[in-house]
Amino acid sequence: MATSDAPTAAEVARIVAASVRDRLPLGWKATETLEPKRGSLRPDLEINLEAPDGRTARLVIEIKQVLERRDIGRIVEQSRSMTRSPTDVPVVSARYLSTSVREALAEQGLSFVDATGNIRIVVDTPAVFISDRGEDRDPWRMGRPRGTLKGEPAARVARALLDYGRDWTVRDLMAASGSSSGAAYRVLEYLEREELIVKEDKRYRVTDWERLLRAWSADASFQTTTRVMAFIEPRGVDYFLGKLTKETKFPVAVTGSMAAKEWATYAPAKAAYVYVSSIQEAAEKWVLRPNAAAPNVILLEPKTVGDVPFVNTVRSQAGYPVAAPPQVAADLLNGPGREPAEGEYLIEWMKSNEERWRRD
């Protein structure tokens, strides 16, 4: 539901026209026509562009109040059907376009603009490129947010969908993830809108586990879901990892570069990132010294995702427990320095070796 001050379609059209006009390079001209009269397949707005050398192009704009990721296929076909000449450029517009919708439109080669300032206009002839960033959330939406993958319930569901390569009933997903029915349905509804899952005969299937992994990583970085403290083990990382081969009274899961090398070695790791249920208990057990200047051990204590990082851990070749590949990849994508590149390297390995890490 939108707030009372949400722009109408006509107001969105005026905002869109002004956004394009204000961002054109010097010497360019723009003339807009609202609801041009040209048959049943007419756009909501046309903007005629004229370059300084006299060449022209026309932006053919379809305006929607709300646009979901699952609507992309239909809107792409509809927008392209309204073009009449090679110089017509289809453009999708709305009061707000989410990040995932903008990414999907760009992948389809469609230009877009929303009323918050998110804009990407690509015209080949005469050549012009306009890009700018607006809001990352709908400022006119009332009530509960339309959904994210933040928080423990979403993390439980996301990890189950990533860890296991199967079709799911809601009951099976609840059992595997430990989530409540309400949480499972809310997350599934959100994922369905984002085209990350499809539903067929009361069963759900992940359509693109890589995009699901990236979406979850973006919404739930370990910096926001854990308490983080840095330490030093004077005798080095390898000595520290030897301590982790021994049983403890609390759960442990190595993540980051040190875990990723079990599957896809990128470069020597300088520090060990380790999930523990209690930083204080772990630091005392392993006799670690706090050191923020030059740490070689980083302890992570989950604060908003419960025990999710410890789910489906495996033993490394050296004998210490490592987090599951989806958890490790998500953490690397949010890490500092070269770690995002290591995350990409691990994801490439996961794409080529799905049978080795996804459970039945």
* Domain edges within the chain: 9-132, 152-219, 222-357
pLDDT of amino acid 65 = 84
pLDDT of amino acid 136 = 84
Does the domain at residues 222-357 carry the CATH identifier 3.30.460?
yes
Helix (H, G, I), strand (E, B) or coil at 194: coil
Question: pLDDT at residue 89 above 60?
Answer: yes
Please report which confidence band the pLDDT of residue 36 belongs to, taking 50, 70 and 90 as the band edges.
confident
Model-wide pTM > 0.85: no
Amino acid at 122: V
- CATH for 152-219, among 3.90.79.10, 3.40.50.2000, 1.10.10.10, 3.40.50.300? 1.10.10.10
Q: Which residues lie closer than 8 Å to 191 by C-beta, 6 or more apart?
A: 161, 197, 212
User: How far, in Å, are 74, 95, 164, 216 from residue 132 at the CA level?
Assistant: 25, 15, 39, 25
Please report which confidence band the pLDDT of residue 6 belongs to, taking 50, 70 and 90 as the band edges.
confident
CB-CB contact of 316 with 340 (8 Å): no
Long-range contacts at 137-142 (CB < 8 A, ≥ 24 apart): 137/96, 138/95, 138/96, 138/98, 139/96, 140/2, 140/3, 140/5, 140/6, 140/7, 140/95, 140/96, 141/1, 141/2, 141/3, 141/96, 142/1, 142/2, 142/3
Phi, psi of 47 (to 5 degrees): -125, 115
Mention the CATH class of domain 9-132: alpha beta
How many CA within 13 A on the CB side of residue 42? Answer: 11
User: How far, in Å, are 134, 194, 322 from residue 170 at the CA level?
Assistant: 36, 18, 28
**Model confidence pLDDT, tens digit, residues 305-341:** 999 999 999 999 999 999 999 999 999 999 999 999 9
